[in-house]
Amino acid sequence: QTADWLARIAAADSPSDVEALRVEALGKSGAITAQLKTLGKMSPEERQTTGAALNRMRQEVQAALTSRKEALEAAELDRKLTEEAVDVSLPVDHGRTGSVHPVSQVMDELAEIFADLGFAVATGPEIEDDWHNFTALNIPEHHPARTMHDTFWFPKEEGEDAPKLLRTHTSPVQIRTMTDGEPPIRIIAPGRVYRSDSDATHTPMFHQVEGLVIDRGIHMGHLKWTLETFVKAFFETDDVELRLRPSYFPFTEPSAEVDVRCSFAGGKLTITSDGDDWMEILGSGMVNRRVIEMCGLDPSVWQGFAFGVGIDRLAMLKYGMTDLRQFFEGDLRWSGHYGFSP
Ligand code: PHE
């Protein structure tokens, strides 16, 4: 009898089979339990022999059940461990991650380059007032420069002298920096600007970085050195030649547009002093003394220079994009093509 049970237990091949056998043998109405119940009706002598035998059987069957159950559970765990093992040497699917936009990338590069020259980063509001965007920059009402800026105006609100506008350049940050702080000043101000204009090289929103230095004894030599140092660092070459072309901005006097010597050999733009072309990259000049005055500073003490660069344009020159509009369409194939996607 014991042998029968042990054989059946040994043949059980899952923990639930073992459990079924336990119920069948030792459960409330199990076979062995039933046999044990008959002990009460036996004579003392009979009980002594049969009882001892039955108890031994119960213990043996119980022990066999336990060890079979443990063995089966251990085997099951082993099987799971092998089957569900993770191969950490397999290549990982990273899915899609984000990447930096070329405009942000160039802004970061500029901030870093100018930080090395002691420039802090300043900001101003994109919704500007007439005074900061125009008047304080020596562009009074009816000045032709106002119409050249293709300004987006807000509706005039009650109690306002002049309606608000979307800033047309980052130059109002010059004004805010001079009126809010004390010279000496060395800042750059990157940010969005807006003009009602759109074609392959113009978008209604684009990016500029303004530069402003105000200190004692500042002259054009400082401006030229600063710009040269910046262009060399940005285009990662010492082979740079700049040309300052006389120009006009109401807020700088004298004013200069700055070109960099380049070559278009093979349809590819290269910044090089060997080139036979020039590429305009920015507007600049010595801060007009009238602007310094309007900001409440004494122009016989404080002089300075300023410059304004198109960030998107710089990105196009450095990374080879041809259509400005695509900067703002969010097409990942475009950024990937120019090396800005993972
Ligand atoms: N604000 C001018 C523009 O948007 C650029 C500029 C800035 C020129 C500073 C001179 C000095 O065209």
* Ligand 1 atom 5, closest CA: 308
Distance 28 CA to ligand 1 centre (A): 96
Tell me if 273 sits within 8 A of 294, measured CB to CB.
no
Predicted pLDDT at 161: 84
pLDDT at position 44 is 85
Task: Using CA atoms of 145, 149, 154, 159 in order, give the dihedral in degrees to the nearest 10.
Answer: -20
Task: Please report the pLDDT score of residue 273 as a whole number.
Answer: 92
The per-residue pLDDT string of the chain (342 residues; one tens digit each, 9 = 90 and over) reads 888 999 999 999 988 899 999 999 999 999 999 888 888 888 888 888 888 888 899 999 999 999 999 999 999 899 999 888 888 898 888 887 788 999 999 999 999 999 999 999 999 999 999 999 999 999 988 887 777 778 999 998 888 888 999 999 999 999 999 999 999 999 999 999 999 887 877 899 999 999 999 999 999 999 999 999 999 999 999 999 999 999 999 999 999 999 999 998 887 888 899 999 998 999 999 999 999 999 999 999 999 999 999 999 899 888 988 888 899 998 888 988 998 876
Atom of ligand 1 nearest to the CA of 137: 1
Q: State residue 342's pLDDT score.
A: 63
**3 Cα: distance to centroid of ligand 1 (angstroms):** 102
Q: Using CB atoms within 10 Å of the CB of residue 302, give its burial: 0 to 12 exposed, 13 to 18 middle, 19+ buried.
A: buried
d(CA 115, CA 121): 8
Tell me the pTM.
Answer: 0.73
**Residue 298 C-alpha to ligand 1 middle, in angstroms?**
22
**For the chain, what is the radius of gyration of the CA atoms?**
42
Q: Which atom of ligand 1 is nearest to the CA of 284?
A: 10
Burial of residue 276 (CB within 10 Å: 0-12, 13-18, 19+) is exposed
User: What pLDDT does 159 receive?
Assistant: 87
Closest CA to 169 of 24, 282, 4, 21: 282
- Of 304, 307, 250, 253, which Cα lies nearest the Cα of 280? 307
Q: Is 253 annotated as a binding residue?
A: yes
Pick the closest to residue 6 from 53, 66, 49 (CA basis): 66
